[in-house]
Amino acid sequence: MLKVEHLAVHYGDIQALWDISFRVEDREIVSLIGSNGAGKTTILKTISGILRPSKGSVSIDGIRSDAIPAHRIVEMGVILIPEGRRLFRDMTVLENLEMGGFIDRARKLKDQNLKWISEIFPVLSERLRQIAGTLSGGEQQMVAIARGLMSDPKWLLVDELSLGLAPLIVKNIYDTLEEINRSKEMAILVVEQNVRLALKIANRGYVIENGRITTEGSGSDLLNNKEIKNAYLAMG
């Protein structure tokens, strides 16, 4: 279980998160929704060790992780697919995937994972030698996800993967994530501005406003919640 308790995070003097508590059970899909600047990305960056909390804790399978260096969080089974993809643009697709599988545990599984990735993203297997920066946006997002999967994670944190992509491509990628969740029993924490999509695939969801959790519930409950419909789905 991935557990966040009473988390507070500051950027210098400015506080971004107040008393955030939530959990992601094994094999669960959880969505964090909220408007721009609500603090969703800050939560993901704190879990992956890029940011340090000023209060509260993060624990991974019962081990406190909020003081562990970011590169070692990956070894604990948590990987972040960052917003904007952040591929190593001048390197080939294969090299990007190899960097995803950099940690020792993942290197041993390289061939096996590459084979799996060519099954879930067949288009990438034809592009392995291509420079990552020359791919289309949708393909780049696939590489970003595949790169994360190469680390053999137990929790996949996904930040705004719909950004700048055509709706059909987004839908395909989310279908693939659901498939991965089912077949690999991988827990997924989704941060997404496309609220409908995020809640549709989620077992549970949390609504974040101005750095605080305001509502939580199952994915379908939140989809039918009147306030959420008003605020995020534009259908009052």
Partner 1 sequence: MLHVAQILSYGILNGALYGLVALGLSLVFGVMNYLMVAHGGLIMLASYTTFWAFFYTRIDPFLFIVVVTPLFFVIGWILFKILFQSLMKFPEGEKIKNSLLISFGLLLIFSNLAILFWTADERAVTTVYTGKVVQVLGVRLPYIGLGGVALAIIVIIALHLFLTRTYFGKAIRAVSLDHEAATLMGINVNRVCLVAFSIGSALAGIPGVLTSLNAFNPAISFDLTNKALIVLILAGFGSIKGVLIGGLLLGAIEAGGVYLVGTPYREVFGLILFVLILMFRPQGLAGKKA
Q: Which residues bind partner 1 (CB under 8 A)?
A: 48-50, 69-75, 79-80, 82, 86-91, 95, 98-100, 102-103, 106-107, 147, 151
- Smallest gap from Cβ 123 to partner 1, in A, equals 22
Report how far residue 120's alpha carbon sits from residue 1's, in angstroms, rounded to the nearest whole number: 26
- Smallest gap from Cβ 75 to partner 1, in A, equals 6
Report how far residue 153's alpha carbon sits from residue 78's, in angstroms, rounded to the nearest whole number: 6
Q: Name the residue nearer to partner 1 (CB basis): 139 or 159.
A: 159
Q: Name the residue nearer to partner 1 (CB basis): 64 or 107.
A: 107
Report how far residue 192's alpha carbon sits from residue 32's, in angstroms, rounded to the nearest whole number: 7
Q: Name the residue nearer to partner 1 (CB basis): 64 or 86.
A: 86
Buried b (16+ CB within 10 A) or exposed e, 186-210: bbbbbbbbbbebbbebbbbbbbbee
- Smallest gap from Cβ 182 to partner 1, in A, equals 25
Angle at 230 between CA 229 and CA 231, to 5 degrees: 100
Q: Name the residue nearer to partner 1 (CB basis): 70 or 128.
A: 70
- Smallest gap from Cβ 74 to partner 1, in A, equals 3
- Smallest gap from Cβ 7 to partner 1, in A, equals 19
Report how far residue 149's alpha carbon sits from residue 158's, in angstroms, rounded to the nearest whole number: 11
Report how far residue 217's alpha carbon sits from residue 4's, in angstroms, rounded to the nearest whole number: 16
Q: Name the residue nearer to partner 1 (CB basis): 16 or 74.
A: 74
